[in-house]
Amino acid sequence: MKQQLYEAQQLPYNELEKVGLAREGKLTIDQDNLMTLLSGRRTEMLRLKNQFAPELNLPEFDAKLSVRPAKEGGLELMVHPIYKEAPQLPYLTDTEALNLEEGHVPNIEKMIFDDEGDPQDILIEFDEETNEFIVTDQSRILVPDRINGEDLSLDQKERYRKGKEVELQDGTKVQFSAKEKEGLRSNKMLLIASVIMDGGLTYAVYHGLKALFGHKEHDAKATENSKGYYSDLEQFQKQDRRETMAQKPESNNKEYERSYSRTGSR
């Protein structure tokens, strides 16, 4: 499932070089965090070089990163350090902010007006690691069409977009979360989600997922997967093989196909 909002060539390489994640025009950030950036989400906590403010005499610092469209075009790098006090949002009441900070609620929905005066539905979460509120435009949330072989209903998709738990027939529960690198939480360690693109399903395997809100860890059944999961896993593997073969030089395709037909694996 291609979740990318941006392409790698759109990234602000100069700014990434300043924090030590690019060098001589090439990215040095690991693949997982790169895909997180390209999907419009926050990376995990990273140790970064400080070339923004050398006068602070702080050669390195810990922060999360994200990117967003810049007004002049392209993308700008957003650095999310660890705040001593959470910067407050004008559209959150003191009670709402406290409920998020103390972990009483996973998120809060709001309708605000953007810079052009147009209404915008947002989802607000609190990142305990950086001590900061996270604001997500609900219209930019990629909602799965299918999870573990089960098609989501319109109601389930709307619940997912609004940051609410969605339960499937196989017992899998999922919930969108912008503060997670994977973009969601689940009562399962593994799941397969897909979206309809270009007339077909595009699959993605999620692994190492964090437990649902309110649960510190997974229960014993978190590693048990349904028939639907394994059915979609097979489809994902087929799709992955097709994409791998398509990327190989044409002169090597026949030899690759012979090798695959003999061994049954790459």
- Kindly report the three-state secondary structure assignment for every residue of 84-139: CCCCCCCCCCHHHHHHHHCCCCCCEEEEEECCCCCEEEEEEEEECCCCEEEEEEHH
- Rounded to whole angstroms, the Cα distance separating 90 from 47 reads 31
Q: Residue 223 belongs to what H/E stretch?
A: none
Question: Which domain, by its residues, includes 130?
Answer: 82-139
* Residue 259 belongs to some domain of the structure: no
Flag whether 162 is in a domain.
yes
Given the DSSP bridges, would you call strands 146-147 and 22-23 parallel, antiparallel or unpaired?
A: unpaired
**Crossing angle for the helix pair 227-247 and 250-263, nearest 10 degrees?**
150
* Buried b or exposed e, range 175-201, using 16+ CB within 10 angstroms: bbbbbbbbbbbbbbbbbbbbbeeeeeb
Model pTM? 0.81
Q: Are residues 74 and 89 in the same domain?
A: no
What pLDDT is recorded for position 104?
A: 97
For residue 260, being part of any structural domain is answered with no
Amino acid at position 235, single letter: Q
Task: Tell me: do 86 and 42 sit in the same domain.
Answer: no
**Number of folded domains that form the chain:** 3
**Rounded Cα–Cα distance for residues 103 and 126 (Å):** 8
Sheet (strand 46-49) strand order = 46-49, 60-69, 75-81
Distances from the Cα of 252 to the Cαs of 101, 177, 179, 242, 265, in angstroms?
55, 42, 42, 14, 17
The CA distance from 166 to 105, in Å, is: 16
Cα of 45 vs its chain's centroid, Å: 14
- Residue 232 has phi, psi (to 5 degrees) of -75, -30
Residue 254 lies in a domain: no
Instruction: Check residue 115 and give its pLDDT.
Output: 84
- Report residues of the chain scoring pLDDT below 50: 1, 251, 253-266
> Do 109 and 21 share a structural domain?
no
Last residue of a domain, one of 121, 139, 157: 139
91 falls within a domain = yes
